[in-house]
């Protein structure tokens, strides 16, 4: 009987111990982290309702998509309403009208690399964004992000969406990185539109375009953010041949050459507009496009609150002396044009203003056999000044025509200053000039605005 009781007690203890062990094992099993999903962050953005706008941006910025597939990320994903509010605040009609560098800068500010933070882990110690900035988090009934710097309360509205390589938290506002916060007071105005349309990346750092820097340095930011209308003629980065880090006086000169009073539609402005610097700018409308001083200008079509913004493919310069026009052509084209300068000096020909001048290269004069008679050191070998003047006048026509004006006019015959008939032949890709004794002179450099008018450089001498 004792043996049986002892056996029962042992069996009971064994069951209790076994039960405790099994319970502990089950508890360990329940607390083990679940396996990661197979969908990566990019898949989550594509398949989560309400993230269509962010997904479209990621798909359109190929580098960003590759980045999100190459490591672990905690992602703060603005929902569709957040993107809609952000774009509306900038004055742009679509996020794709904003410079892609700026858009990418904004999206990178929403990523914490090498991390898998759930919402309850977000606190002031979280940092390490790809933009080298920090986010701040205020825990409470809801989690506020960047409470001190966001224009509107920014909260997590859907948290802890797990991905194979990250965690996604859906938020109700677009987070503004420091580079964007400084511009937010100007959103919607012509200076804000200029800044966002022409944003750029330089040495892996995000910065303002040269013309935007000049407008700020010139002290025009508040003027261009006010109620008076202006039109900004903004050179693209590659076309900006001025130093943006200049002093306020020089910056004001550059800025005023690129500003028009009022909200100007250049497609309806006529041939001439006058900048705030009192410089004349020549407008050409050709096949639905606008050209300023012969250079392409793009209407940004962003409905700024106080004007228009055009992006230019060249910097607007004041008219230069003919010698400086020639120097520019020599630097860019690789040709030299000394014989023409010598001929002008020999004849004393006064070109006047409002002209179109075609300058032959030195090699063109050599091919025509005129170099010895023009450039000779001996008086007897020189060409008769009256004959030389006649040759020069064959290269000048009345009226100011840039290359696009010649293209727009099509095939035509125009009289030179000496009444020699010059024939222009135009194709979609090229234009040539012929005189009675010269056929198909081609252009080697075009569209320099001089004090005499438009100057073009050609590869043949137009002999009368």
Predicted confidence at residue 21, as pLDDT, reads 42
The domain that holds 451 is classified in CATH as 2.30.180.10
Residue 1 lies in a domain: no
Residue 295 φ then ψ, to 5°: -110, 140
Query: Rounded to whole angstroms, how far apart are CA atoms 115 and 142?
Result: 21
> According to the model, what pLDDT value does residue 130 have?
64
Q: Using the 8-state DSSP alphabet, how is residue 384 labeled?
A: P
In contact, 73 and 115? CB cutoff 8 Å: yes
pLDDT at residue 459, rounded to an integer: 97
**Residue-wise burial string across 138-155, b where 16 or more C-beta atoms lie within 10 A, e elsewhere:** eeeeebbbbeeebeeebb
**Of 281, 312, 343, at which residue does a domain stop?**
312
**Domain identity same for 330 and 296:** no
355 lies in the same domain as 283: no
pLDDT value for 164: 94
pLDDT value of position 33: 59
Provide CB contacts within 8 A for 232, sequence distance 6+.
190, 191, 193, 194, 211, 215, 224, 258, 259, 307, 308, 309, 310
Report yes or no: 119 and 141 within 8 Å, Cβ to Cβ. no
Alpha-carbon gap, residue 303 to 305, rounded angstroms: 6
* Domain housing 196: 182-312
Query: Do 73 and 195 reside in the same domain of the chain?
Result: no
Any domain includes 421? yes
User: How many domains does the chain divide into?
Assistant: 3
Q: Are residues 283 and 328 in the same domain?
A: no
- Same domain for 187 and 174, yes or no, is no
* Residue 19: HSE in the Cβ half-sphere, 13 Å Cα cutoff: 6
The predicted model scores a pTM of 0.82
Q: What is the mean pLDDT of residues 245-263?
A: 96
Residue 405 has pLDDT above 80, yes or no: yes
Residue 447 maps to a domain: yes
Q: Are residues 160 and 202 in the same domain?
A: no
Distance CA 330, CA 455 (A): 13
Residue 257 lies inside a defined structural domain of this protein: yes
The answer to whether the beta carbons of residues 192 and 183 sit under 8 Å apart is yes
Q: Are residues 53 and 134 in the same domain?
A: yes
Contact 68, 40 (CB under 8 A): yes
Whether the pLDDT of residue 202 is over 60: the answer is no
pLDDT at 104 over 50: yes
What are the E-state strand segments in 293-411? 295-299, 307-312, 355-360, 396-398
Out of 179, 199, 221, a domain closes at: 179
**402 in any annotated domain:** yes
Do 268 and 334 lie in one domain? The reply is no
Please tell me whether residues 166 and 49 are part of one structural domain: yes
Q: Considering the chain, what percentage of its residues have pLDDT values greater than 90? A: 66
Please give the pLDDT value at position 25.
46
Averaged pLDDT for residues 123-152: 82
pLDDT at 201: 46
Write phi, then psi, for 416 (nearest 5 degrees). -75, 180
Within-domain flag for 8: no
* pLDDT at 19 exceeding the cut of 80: no
User: In this structure, are 192 and 163 located in the same domain?
Assistant: no
Mean pLDDT in the chain? 87
Confidence of residue 310 (pLDDT cuts 50, 70, 90): very high
Last residue in a domain, options 146, 163, 179:
179
Q: Token match 């091919």: residue? A: 367
| Contact status, residue 354 vs residue 400, Cβ threshold 8 Å | yes
Say whether pLDDT at 288 is over 70. Answer: yes
Please compute the mean of the pLDDT values over residues 107-129 and round it to a whole number: 83
- Copy the structure tokens of residue 91: 């004055």
Query: What confidence tens digit (pLDDT) does each residue in 424-464 have?
Result: 999 988 999 999 999 999 999 999 999 999 999 999 999 99
Structural contact between residues 326 and 340, judged by C-beta atoms closer than 8 angstroms = yes
Q: Is residue 464 part of a domain?
A: no
330 and 351: one domain? Answer: yes
Domain membership of residue 5 (yes or no) is no
Q: Taking 50 as the threshold, does the pLDDT of residue 197 lie above it?
A: yes
122 shares its domain with 162: yes
């Amino acid at each position: 009987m004792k043996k049986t009781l002892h056996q029962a007690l042992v069996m009971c203890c064994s069951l209790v111990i076994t039960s405790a062990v099994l319970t502990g094992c089950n508890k360990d099993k329940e607390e083990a982290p679940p396996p990661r999903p197979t969908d990566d962050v990019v898949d989550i953005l594509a398949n989560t309702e309400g993230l269509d706008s962010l997904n479209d941006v990621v798909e359109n910025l190929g580098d960003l998509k590759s980045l999100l597939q190459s490591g672990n990320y905690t992602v703060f994903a603005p929902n569709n309403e957040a993107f809609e509010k952000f774009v509306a605040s900038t004055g742009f009609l679509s996020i794709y009208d904003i410079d892609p560098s700026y858009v990418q800068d904004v999206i990178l500010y929403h990523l914490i690399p090498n991390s898998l933070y759930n919402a309850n882990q977000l606190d002031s110690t979280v940092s390490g964004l790809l933009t080298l900035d920090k986010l701040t988090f205020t825990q409470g009934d809801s989690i506020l992000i960047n409470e001190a710097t966001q224009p509107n309360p920014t909260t997590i509205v859907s948290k802890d969406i797990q991905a194979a390589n990250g965690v996604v938290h859906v938020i109700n506002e677009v987070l503004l990185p420091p580079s964007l916060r400084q511009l937010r007071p100007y959103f919607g105005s012509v200076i804000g539109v200029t800044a966002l349309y022409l944003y750029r990346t330089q040495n892996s750092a995000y910065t303002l375009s040269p013309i935007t820097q000049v407008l700020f340095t010139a002290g025009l930011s508040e003027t261009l953010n006010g109620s008076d209308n202006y039109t900004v003629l903004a050179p693209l980065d590659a076309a900006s041949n001025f130093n943006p880090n200049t002093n306020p006086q020089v910056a004001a000169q550059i800025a005023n050459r690129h500003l028009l009073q009022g909200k100007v539609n250049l497609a309806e402005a006529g041939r001439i507009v006058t900048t705030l610097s009192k410089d004349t700018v020549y407008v050409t409308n050709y096949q639905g496009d606008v050209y300023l001083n012969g250079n392409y200008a793009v209407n940004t079509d962003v409905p700024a609150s106080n004007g228009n913004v055009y992006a230019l493919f060249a910097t607007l310069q004041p008219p230069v002396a003919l010698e400086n026009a020639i120097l520019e052509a020599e630097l860019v084209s690789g040709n030299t044009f000394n014989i023409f300068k010598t001929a002008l000096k020999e004849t004393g020909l006064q070109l006047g203003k409002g002209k179109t001048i075609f300058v032959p290269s030195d090699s063109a004069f050599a091919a025509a056999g005129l170099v010895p008679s023009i450039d000779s050191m001996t008086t007897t070998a020189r060409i008769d000044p009256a004959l030389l003047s006649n040759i020069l006048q064959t290269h000048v026509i009345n009226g100011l025509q840039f290359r696009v004006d010649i293209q727009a006019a099509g095939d035509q015959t125009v009289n030179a200053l000496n009444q020699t008939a010059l024939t222009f032949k135009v194709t979609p890709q090229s234009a040539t000039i012929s005189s009675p004794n010269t056929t198909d002179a081609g252009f080697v450099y075009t569209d320099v605005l001089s004090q005499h008018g438009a100057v073009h450089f050609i590869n043949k001498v137009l002999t009368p």
